[in-house]
Chains A and B, each alone.
Chain A
Amino acid sequence: DVQMTQSPSAMSTSVGDRVTITCRASQVIFNALAWFQQKPGKVPKRLINGASSLQEYVPSRFSGSGSGTEFTLTISSLQPEDFGSYFCLQYNVYPYTFGQGTKLEI
């Protein structure tokens, strides 16, 4: 199975900060990586797939990059509504696997 190692597990942040979250895959997954945001008590929301393709409703301060085994999600200027947890998902190989998550505290 592909193990997804996500870091950091938690971050204390401030409005306006530039935030970078990393996911590392245990084997090459090409660009088959998605990022999700989840707020407490809510359903996960897809932000990015194909490692860097932003969904149309997602603010442009979010971006994704990477290919192969190293991937990053960047929030260029953190906004109050960005608090919550973020998860990566590899979908190159079954079983699909999520990273452990990153909790952003603002």
Chain B
Amino acid sequence: EVQLVESGGGLVQPGGSLRLSCAASGFTMSWYWMTWVRQAPGKGLEWVANINQDGRERNYGDSVKGRFIISRDNAKIYLHMSSLRAEDTAVYYCARAGIWDSDDWGHGTLVTVSS
């Protein structure tokens, strides 16, 4: 059974940094693109970033470009978030592959940016 488990969310002050992690089981993560998607409370979905199998290709949404970095190692994918703003408050989901081609999402981790 495929499982994705996000961690690292929490309360952070504006301007601060946070690193999210996503651990996978039930499949070989290194074979797949991986994606982060977020959802602000009561709002819609926002595609955040993805990374290819060897980590050399990374793509970002406009609202996070230059502030967030997606990375991976053999076991996990990460989202390094810096210069955080109130509007980054959201549940962050990791997902296998491109999301349009996979049904596997984690349950999300909540990031709250507030003073």
Contact = CB atoms under 8 A, between A and B. Distances in A.
A97 B47 contact: yes
Interface string B78-107: 000000000000000100001111110111
Contacts of A99: 44
Interface in A28-50: 32, 34, 36, 38, 43-46, 49
Contact of A87 (B45, B93, B107): B45
A7 interface: no
Nearest to B105: A43
Contacts of A32: 100
A44 B99 CA distance: 10
Given A46-B100, A89-B99, A98 B45 contact: yes
Interface residues of B, number: 21
B93 A89 contact: no
Nearest to A33: B100
A34 to B, nearest CB: 4
Interface string A35-78: 01010000111100100000100000000000000000000000
A47 to B, nearest CB: 10
Interface in A63-106: 85, 87, 89, 91, 94-101
A98 B93 contact: no
A10 to B, nearest CB: 12
Interface of A: 1, 32, 34, 36, 38, 43-46, 49, 55, 85, 87, 89, 91, 94-101
